[in-house]
A and B are shown apart, each in its own frame.
Chain A
Amino acid sequence: MTVLPLPVVPGLDAGLHPALASHKSGGRDLWSPPLPEAPDDPVAATWDALGEVLDPEIPISLPELGLIYGVEHVRGRVHVRLTFTATACPCMEFIREDVTDRLERESWIRAVEIEEVWSPPWTAERITPEGRAKLRALGVSA
């Protein structure tokens, strides 16, 4: 049986807003290289790293979307308290994997624990002003 190659569509992203251009899962193509050494403030550095992880459906970061409820760092072990926009969010596994992969790039992080939390319930009120501005630029009201 002959398997035909998938058609290639040249310039797929042409004309789209730059933020909407194709990104790898979680914005991997935008992720910074790992820090060369352990930071003085590992919690702040963890927040910075999470700030590079994009939501799979809209190109703003998880902290901007208000999905990160807390970060703790104890001797190389990072504990992230994460919620989702909906109880049946179809991207839960993608998001968990993106968070873990981004944080595990850092040599000063030995282990990543993700705690799924639902309290307080996420609402659009949790989107940060920066996140709101990006969404507005994309024509999304929030």
Chain B
Amino acid sequence: MTLDPKNLGPEDRTALIRLVLTLADSKRLMGIRYSDWLLGAPSVETGIATSSMAQDEWGHARLLYAMLKELDVDPEPIEHDRQASEYASVAALDEEAPDWAALVAMMALADAAIATVLGSFAEGAFETARSRVPKMLAEERFHASLAAAWFRRLAASEGEARPLLERAVERMLPGLLAWAGADDESARRLVDAGVIASADERLTVFRDGVRDLLAEIDVDVDAVEPDADWDVERGRTGGQPAEEAVARARGDLNRALFVE
């Protein structure tokens, strides 16, 4: 089944726009969070990997924002003019990772949650997602591999790294479960239209993907409840990304350099 955006009713169209925005904004913020650690990673090699992942995330964001054109939405003001309160990015990325362990948690969990929803989008009825998203997922495989290696390394450490990792996971996991398993009216419309899999299926895929990793720090992902603080308008849990990060996402400092 292929969905023609021209045949979408206004509510389904709004739901699809919200999904694209939550994914695109999350990718953009994920890139910023990787970029925060380009020069602070524990090794030169990891810093280079972080730089590459930031680049990937912004490439994915570019392709996702461009999907809005097919829904008659101009991506230009969406990318460069919105306020932080309008961003639909996943809450786990709102603030800079305060330590390397927190970045590893973002890498292992937030990036995985985004990949889970993208994976569902890639197999749905929206042809543009079916053709563009598989390349993103192919690039994400490397992120997941690096994330798992670092997660296991920190989980096995005997110093302060493991407690930092545990605290980061505790902070972000409920919100990520709520985001990956979004089940409000907007999400259900997309499920009914065949654009994404059901909330249960998405949650199962996400939980399956992170279960073994989380077990390394004695967290049972099946016992963690999704955050109940849900913002229906933006398709995310409460709060908003840091103003400084959004200024970077918008390109405020580069505004004079914008060219057609």
Is chain B a partner of chain A in the same complex?
yes
B201 at the interface (CB under 8 A from A): no
Q: Across the two chains, which residue of chain A brings its CB closest to B127?
A: A119
Q: Are B131 and A87 in contact (CB under 8 A)?
A: no
Q: Given the known A-B contacts A86-B139, A87-B139, are A118 and B134 also in contact in the complex, defined by CB atoms under 8 Å?
A: yes
B69 at the interface (CB under 8 A from A): no
Which secondary structure dominates chain A's binding surface? loop
Q: Are A119 and B130 in contact (CB under 8 A)?
A: yes
B136 at the interface (CB under 8 A from A): yes
A121 to B136, CA, bound (A): 9
**Which of B51-59, B100-108, B166-174, B248-256 lies at the interface with chain A?**
B51-59
Q: Are A121 and B59 in contact (CB under 8 A)?
A: no
Q: Are B134 and A87 in contact (CB under 8 A)?
A: no
CB-defined contacts of B193 to chain A, threshold 8 Å: none
Which secondary structure dominates chain B's binding surface? helix
What's the interface size class on A, roughly? 10 to 19
CB-defined contacts of B132 to chain A, threshold 8 Å: 118-119
B1 at the interface (CB under 8 A from A): no
What is the number of residues of chain B that contact chain A, defined by CB distance less than 8 Å? 16
Q: Given the known A-B contacts A87-B59, A87-B60, A88-B55, are A119 and B139 also in contact in the complex, defined by CB atoms under 8 Å?
A: no
CB distance from A89 to the nearest CB of B (A): 7
CB-defined contacts of B62 to chain A, threshold 8 Å: 87-88
Q: Given the known A-B contacts A86-B56, A87-B56, are A118 and B63 also in contact in the complex, defined by CB atoms under 8 Å?
A: yes
CB distance from A94 to the nearest CB of B (A): 15
A47 at the interface (CB under 8 A from B): no
Q: Are A88 and B138 in contact (CB under 8 A)?
A: no
A121 to B59, CA, bound (A): 14
B82 at the interface (CB under 8 A from A): no
Which residue in A87, A90, A122, A123 is a CB contact (below 8 Å) of B63? A87
Interface residues of B (CB under 8 A from A): 55-60, 62-63, 130-132, 134-136, 138-139
